[in-house]
C-alpha cells in the first residue's frame, strides 16, 4: 500500500543539564500534551504509538514502561518501543502507517543523562568481547575519528572550532537549546577534541505526530511529507571502517532520495564537530544548504531524543514555510555507527 | 527532592565462538591471531563473519605483536576501568600482518599516526582483551612468528565481563512525595483531574487518561485484601518463614491496590475482602506487613473494580 506520510506536529522540552526534580514521565508529559495540542488530537485518537529511550540511561530494566503512563496506556493501545534514538521509533511508525494499519502515530523519545556518567554509560553499547572491557568512552572514540580526519587533511582544529561557534550562534534563536551563543573551545577533553567540540550533556524529551494522506492535511496547514527515509549501519569493528567517511549515511541518503534534487535545509545529528565534517562529505552538502539552524547536537544533545529532534526541527521549518525540501539525519552508536536519513517536503506554494 | 546513589553491577558471562576463543586464548599465550577473509585480507581482531560479504570465517593466521598506529587520541584524564591510570593515548593499531586495526591504549606521552608500537603483555593473563596491558613505543624489527595454527590444548570458551555503572537516582516529584509521606507512616496517592481516580503509589501521570496528576490524597491506613497468594518457597536472603501470604491491598480511598505481606493471621485464613492495616517496625521506611483489623469483611462489590 502506497500512501504519503507526513510529520504534522513536533514538540520538545527545554534541554537542561539536569531534571532531577522530575521523573522521566514527569519530564515527558508536557511535551506529549504540547504535541497533541498542536493537532487537537487526544491520546485515544492516536492509531499507533512508538517510543525511543534507553535503560542504560535510567539504570533500570524496562524503564520505558513507566513513561508509557504519559500516553494513557490503559485501556490497551497499539504501542511499540525501540531501545534507540526516537528517530528509529519514527521509522517504525512510518512503516506502520505505510501498511495502512493506522492513520496517525505518536512518536516520542526521552533521555535523562544526568543520573549517570554518560561517557561511561555509553561504553556499554560497544563490542563486549574486544572493546567494552577497555571502557573507551564516547569522547575518546569521537577523538580517534577526529584525528583520522585531521591526518587525512579533511579538517583542522580551526575549522572544528568554527563549526562549534556557528552551531551555538545559531542556537541563540532556539529557545530549547542548552548551550547558546559564545562558548569557549576550552581545553582538550581527549585530544584533538576540546570542550567546545563536544556536545553538552543534557536531559530532554521530544515528540512528533505522523499522519497519512488526507488526515495529515486536516491536522496541519503544510504537512512535512516524508519523501524517503532509510537507515543503514557500518561494520561493527571500528578498526575495519574508514572513520573519515560514512558510507552508511550516503547509502541511506541515496535510498531516501536525498540526491534526486537539492535540499535547502539540513538538520544533521553530529554530536561532535568532527562528525559534521564527515556528514557534509557523505551527504554532498555544499554551502547553499542551511545546516543546523537549530544549533544541532552541539547546542543540545539529549541522548535518545536528539535524532528525533533533528527530524522535528526540519519538519517545523517545512510547516512554517521556511523550507521546501529538508534533509534530517540521525545517528546512534560510536563514530556515526548507525545513520538514518529522511527527506521532508512541503507542498508546492 | 530525594536523591540516592544507585549502583548497577553485573558480571556478564559470555560464550565465545571458535574464532573469538582462539584469539583470546592466543592472548593468554602471548600469541596474536587474526582471521583471513576469502579475498585474502587479515582481520585483527578477528570476527566470525566477513563484515563485507557475511561469509563465515575460520582461517586463523598469526600476526605480529608489533604494529603501526593508524589514528590516536590523547587521554589526559583516564577514567575508572580504562587500561592505564596515568595519561595515555587511545589508538587504532594495525598489527604487522593485519589489514585492519585493533583498539587499545598506548602508554606514551606523545603519539603520532604512523608510530611504531608493540604489545606490553599483562602479568596475569586469562584469555581476555585486557591480557594486552597496553601498547608501548617500539622501533625495532617485527619479531619472527611461530606460525601458530590457532589450535590450543586448553582453550578459553568464555569470558566474564564485569560492568559497573554509578548513578544518582532521583524518583521525581510524585514519588518523592510518596516516599517522604511513608517516612511519617502516612500513605499519599494522587488524584487524576480527569477520571478522579486516586493512584497509589503516585507516578505523576494517570495511565488511563495520560494526564498529569498533582492533587495529593491521603489514603488508608486501613484497606481491603483484593487478592492474594500463598508463598511456599523461601527466597534467598529473606528472613520470613514459609508459608506466608502476599496480597494486593486496596487502601481506603485508593483506586489502585498496592502489594504487601499479610501476617498476624494463619496463612490459610487469609481471604478476599479481609480488612487489614499496616504494621510499622521501628525506623522502617515502609510497612513491614499488614494485619487484620478485626472489622467485618468488605463486601465484594466495594472492591471488585480493584482486582
* pLDDT exceeds cutoff 80 at A346: yes
- A 10 A CB-CB count for B190 gives 25
- What is d(CA B38, CA B61) in angstroms, rounded to the nearest whole number? 13
- What is d(CA A89, CA A209) in angstroms, rounded to the nearest whole number? 12
pLDDT tens profile A104-143: 999 999 999 999 999 999 999 999 999 999 999 999 999 9
Structure letter (DSSP) for residue A250: H
CA A40, A44, A47, A49 dihedral sign is: positive
Q: Which of B20, B51, B203 sits opposite A25 (nearest CB)?
A: B203
Low-confidence ranges of chain B (pLDDT < 70): none
- Decide: A246 and A282 in contact? Cβ < 8 Å: yes
Nearest CA in chain A to B47: A237
Nearest CA in chain B to A187: B76
Give the CATH number for residue A49: 3.40.47.10
Domains identified in chain A, total number: 2
- Residue that the C-alpha cell 516529584 belongs to: B173
- A 10 A CB-CB count for A344 gives 29
Question: Min CA distance, B238 vs chain A (Å)?
Answer: 23
B153: left (phi over 0), alpha (psi -120 to 50) or beta: alpha
Are A193 and A207 within one domain?
no
Question: Min CA distance, B7 vs chain A (Å)?
Answer: 8
Give the strand pairing for B223-231 and B4-15. Answer: unpaired
> What is the rounded end-to-end Cα distance, in angstroms, of chain A?
27
Are A76 and A162 within one domain?
no
pLDDT tens profile A13-45: 999 999 988 999 999 999 999 999 999 999 889
DSSP track, B96-113: TT-SS-EEEEE--S---T
Q: If you compute the radius of gyration of chain B from its CA atoms, what whole number of angstroms results? A: 31
Are A47 and A154 within one domain?
no
- Decide: A220 and A212 in contact? Cβ < 8 Å: no
User: Quick one: pLDDT at residue A82?
Assistant: 97
- Decide: A47 and A78 in contact? Cβ < 8 Å: yes
- A 10 A CB-CB count for A189 gives 22
Average pLDDT over residues A287-309: 97
> What is the rounded end-to-end Cα distance, in angstroms, of chain B?
33
User: Are the Cβ atoms of A115 and B6 closer than 8 angstroms?
Assistant: yes
Predicted confidence band of residue A1 (pLDDT cuts 50, 70, 90): low
- What is d(CA B189, CA B221) in angstroms, rounded to the nearest whole number? 12
Predicted confidence band of residue A92 (pLDDT cuts 50, 70, 90): very high
Average pLDDT over residues A189-197: 97
Please say which residue of A184, A219, A254 terminates a domain: A219
Are A204 and A333 within one domain?
no
Q: Is A23 on the interface with B (CB under 8 A)?
A: yes
- Decide: B289 and B260 in contact? Cβ < 8 Å: yes
Q: Which chain A residues contact residue B103 at CB under 8 A?
A: 130-131, 134, 136, 144, 238-239
Q: Which chain B residues contact residue A26 at CB under 8 A?
A: 172-174, 204-205, 212
Q: Which chain A residues contact residue B16 at CB under 8 A?
A: 129
Q: Where are the beta strands (DSSP E) in A53-91?
A: 79-82
Structural domain that includes position A134: 118-199+227-345
Q: Where are the beta strands (DSSP E) in A147-292?
A: 188-190, 193-194, 204-212, 224-233, 265-267, 290-291
Are A73 and A136 within one domain?
no
> Percentage of chain A with pLDDT > 90?
92
* pLDDT exceeds cutoff 80 at A2: no
| Residue in A136, A139, A278, A337 to test binding to B, most B beta-carbons within 10 Å | A136
Strand order in the sheet with B42-43: B42-43, B32-36, B59-63
Q: Is A77 on the interface with B (CB under 8 A)?
A: no
Question: Furthest-apart CA pair in chain A: how many Å?
Answer: 58
Are A111 and A255 within one domain?
no
Are A42 and A145 within one domain?
no
Average pLDDT over residues A283-298: 97
Give the strand pairing for A265-267 and A290-291. Answer: parallel
Cell of A339: 545513520
- What is d(CA A86, CA B270) in angstroms, rounded to the nearest whole number? 47
Q: Where are the beta strands (DSSP E) in chain A?
A: 5-12, 48-52, 79-82, 104-111, 188-190, 193-194, 204-212, 224-233, 265-267, 290-291, 325-332, 338-345
User: Quick one: pLDDT at residue B307?
Assistant: 86
Reduce the DSSP state of residue A135 to 3 states and report it: coil
User: Quick one: pLDDT at residue B99?
Assistant: 97
Q: Which of B12, B102, B166 sits opposite A117 (nearest CB)?
A: B166
User: Are the Cβ atoms of B45 and A237 closer than 8 angstroms?
Assistant: yes
- Decide: B157 and A9 in contact? Cβ < 8 Å: no
Q: What are phi and psi of A163, to 5 degrees?
A: -60, -45
**What residues 120-149 of chain A have any CB closer than 8 A to a CB of chain B?**
120-121, 124, 128-137, 140-141, 143-148
The angle that helices A273-283 and A138-151 make with each other, rounded to 10 degrees, is: 60
Are A207 and A180 within one domain?
no
Residues in contact with B136: Cβ distance below 8 Å, sequence separation at least 6, in sequence order: B106, B107, B108, B117, B118, B120
Reduce the DSSP state of residue A170 to 3 states and report it: helix
Question: Min CA distance, B56 vs chain A (Å)?
Answer: 15
- What is d(CA A326, CA A348) in angstroms, rounded to the nearest whole number? 14
Are A173 and A265 within one domain?
yes
Please say which residue of A158, A184, A219 terminates a domain: A219
A282: left (phi over 0), alpha (psi -120 to 50) or beta: alpha
pLDDT tens profile A308-329: 999 999 999 999 999 999 999 9
Alpha helix stretches (DSSP H) within B12-76: 18-28
User: Are the Cβ atoms of A23 and B174 closer than 8 angstroms?
Assistant: yes
- What is d(CA A271, CA A76) in angstroms, rounded to the nearest whole number? 37
- What is d(CA A37, CA A34) in angstroms, rounded to the nearest whole number? 5
DSSP track, B112-144: -TT-EEEEEE-SS--SSGGGEEEEEE--SPPPP
Are A297 and A188 within one domain?
yes
- What is d(CA B7, CA B63) in angstroms, rounded to the nearest whole number? 40
Residues in contact with B115: Cβ distance below 8 Å, sequence separation at least 6, in sequence order: B68, B69, B72, B106, B108, B137
Are A87 and A123 within one domain?
no
Average pLDDT over residues A292-312: 98
Are A168 and A284 within one domain?
yes
User: Quick one: pLDDT at residue B240?
Assistant: 87
| Residue in A237, A272, A274, A337 to test binding to B, most B beta-carbons within 10 Å | A237
- What is d(CA A250, CA A96) in angstroms, rounded to the nearest whole number? 25
Please say which residue of A153, A187, A219 terminates a domain: A219
CA atoms within 13 A on the CB side of A52: 27
Amino acid at each position: 500500500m502506497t500512501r504519503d506520510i507526513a510529520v504534522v506536529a513536533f514538540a520538545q522540552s527545554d534541554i537542561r543539564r539536569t531534571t532531577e526534580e522530575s521523573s522521566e514521565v514527569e519530564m515527558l508529559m508536557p511535551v506529549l500534551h504540547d504535541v497533541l495540542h498542536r493537532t487537537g488530537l487526544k491520546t485515544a485518537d492516536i492509531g499507533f504509538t512508538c517510543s525511543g529511550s534507553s535503560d542504560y540511561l535510567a539504570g533500570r530494566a524496562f524503564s520505558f514502561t513507566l513513561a508509557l503512563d504519559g500516553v494513557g496506556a490503559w485501556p490497551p493501545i497499539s504501542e511499540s518501543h525501540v531501545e534507540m534514538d526516537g528517530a528509529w521509533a519514527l521509522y517504525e511508525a512510518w512503516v506502520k502507517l505505510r501498511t495502512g494499519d493506522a492513520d496517525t502515530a505518536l512518536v516520542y523519545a526521552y533521555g535523562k543523562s544526568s543520573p549517570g556518567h554518560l561517557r561511561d554509560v555509553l561504553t556499554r553499547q560497544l563490542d563486549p568481547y574486544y572493546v567494552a572491557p577497555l571502557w573507551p568512552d564516547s569522547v575518546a572514540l569521537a577523538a580517534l575519528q577526529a584525528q583520522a580526519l585531521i591526518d587525512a587533511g579533511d579538517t583542522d582544529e580551526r575549522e572544528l572550532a568554527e563549526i562549534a561557534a556557528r552551531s551555538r550562534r545559531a542556537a541563540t534563536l532556539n529557545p530549547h537549546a542548552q548551550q547558546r551563543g559564545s562558548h569557549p573551545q576550552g581545553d582538550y577533553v581527549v585530544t584533538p577534541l576540546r570542550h567546545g567540540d563536544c556536545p553538552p550533556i543534557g536531559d530532554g524529551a521530544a515528540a512528533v505526530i505522523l499522519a497519512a494522506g488526507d488526515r495529515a492535511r486536516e491536522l496541519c496547514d503544510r504537512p512535512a511529507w516524508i519523501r524517503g527515509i532509510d537507515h543503514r549501519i557500518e561494520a561493527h569493528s571500528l578498526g575495519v571502517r574508514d572513520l573519515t567517511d560514512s558510507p552508511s549515511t550516503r547509502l541511506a541518503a541515496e535510498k531516501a532520495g536525498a540526491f534526486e534534487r537539492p535540499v535547502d535545509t539540513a538538520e544533521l545529528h553530529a554530536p561532535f564537530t568532527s562528525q559534521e565534517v564527515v556528514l557534509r562529505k557523505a551527504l554532498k552538502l555544499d554551502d547553499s544548504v542551511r545546516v543546523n539552524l537549530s544549533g544541532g547536537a552541539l547546542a543540545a544533545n539529549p541522548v535518545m531524543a536528539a535524532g528525533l529532534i533533528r527530524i522535528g526541527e526540519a519538519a517545523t521549518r517545512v510547516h512554517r514555510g521556511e523550507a521546501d525540501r529538508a534533509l534530517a539525519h540521525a545517528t546512534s552508536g560510536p563514530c556515526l555507527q548507525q545513520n538514518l536519513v529522511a527527506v521532508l517536503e512541503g507542498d508546492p506554494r | 527532592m530525594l536523591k540516592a546513589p544507585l549502583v548497577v553491577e553485573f558480571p556478564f558471562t559470555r560464550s565465545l565462538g571458535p574464532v573469538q576463543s582462539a584469539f583470546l586464548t592466543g592472548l593468554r599465550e602471548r600469541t596474536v591471531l587474526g582471521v583471513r577473509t576469502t579475498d585474502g585480507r587479515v582481520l585483527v581482531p578477528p570476527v566470525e563473519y566477513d563484515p563485507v560479504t557475511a561469509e563465515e570465517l575460520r582461517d586463523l593466521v598469526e600476526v605480529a605483536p608489533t604494529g603501526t598506529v593508524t589514528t590516536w587520541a590523547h587521554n589526559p584524564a583516564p577514567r575508572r576501568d580504562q587500561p592505564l591510570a596515568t595519561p595515555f593515548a587511545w589508538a587504532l593499531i594495525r598489527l604487522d600482518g593485519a589489514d585492519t586495526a585493533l583498539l587499545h591504549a598506548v602508554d606514551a606521552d606523545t603519539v603520532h599516526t604512523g608510530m611504531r608500537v608493540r604489545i606490553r603483555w599483562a602479568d596475569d593473563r586469562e584469555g581476555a582483551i585486557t591480557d594486552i596491558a597496553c601498547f608501548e613505543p617500539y622501533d625495532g624489527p617485527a619479531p619472527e612468528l611461530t606460525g601458530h595454527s590457532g589450535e590450543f590444548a586448553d582453550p578459553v570458551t568464555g569470558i566474564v565481563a564485569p560492568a559497573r555503572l554509578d548513578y544518582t537516582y532521583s524518583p521525581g516529584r510524585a514519588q518523592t512525595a510518596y516516599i517522604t509521606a511513608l517516612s511519617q507512616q502516612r500513605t499519599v496517592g494522587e488524584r487524576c483531574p480527569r477520571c478522579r481516580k486516586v493512584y497509589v503509589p503516585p507516578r505523576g501521570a494517570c495511565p488511563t487518561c495520560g494526564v498529569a496528576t498533582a492533587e495529593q490524597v491521603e489514603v488508608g491506613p486501613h484497606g481491603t485484601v483484593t487478592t492474594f497468594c500463598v508463598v511456599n518457597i523461601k527466597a534467598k536472603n529473606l528472613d520470613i518463614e514459609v508459608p506466608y501470604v502476599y496480597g494486593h491491598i486496596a487502601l481506603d480511598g485508593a483506586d489502585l491496590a498496592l502489594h504487601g505481606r499479610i501476617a498476624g493471621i494463619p496463612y490459610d485464613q487469609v481471604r478476599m475482602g479481609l480488612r487489614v492495616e499496616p504494621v510499622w517496625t521501628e525506623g522502617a521506611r515502609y510497612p513491614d506487613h499488614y494485619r487484620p483489623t478485626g472489622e467485618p469483611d468488605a463486601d465484594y462489590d466495594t472492591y471488585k473494580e480493584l482486582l
